[in-house]
Amino acid sequence: MVPVLDGERRPTLLPTNSLNHFGYGLEFDATGSLGDLHIVKATPWVKHDEHYHVDFSLPCRPFSEYQTQATGKN
């Protein structure tokens, strides 16, 4: 999926569940916004096999923090 920022421009999880087809049913507007969510934009480049690679200058949180946010458990 695509990296997104919340209303305070902090990295956050894209809300995915069966009701929004696990994120595929989300509709961002032409500016890359959906409510308080904003798509992180970057310039793609092609490396090989005709698939795209994108480098984001967005720092990542440790994976354990994402698990805590997703499950509500420490």
Contact between residue 14 and residue 27 where contact means Cβ atoms under 8 Å apart: no
Query: In total, how many domains does the chain have?
Result: 1
Using one digit for the tens of pLDDT, what is the confidence trace for 24-69?
Answer: 899 999 999 999 999 988 776 666 666 767 777 777 777 777 766 6
Query: Distance between CA atoms of 42 and 61, rounded to whole angstroms?
Result: 19
pLDDT, residue 35, reads 95
Model-wide pTM > 0.85: no
Query: Distance between CA atoms of 28 and 16, rounded to whole angstroms?
Result: 14
Query: CA 4 → CA 23, 47, 55, 71, distances in Å?
Result: 12, 24, 14, 19
The domain containing residue 37 runs over which residues? 4-71
3-class state of residue 47 by DSSP: strand
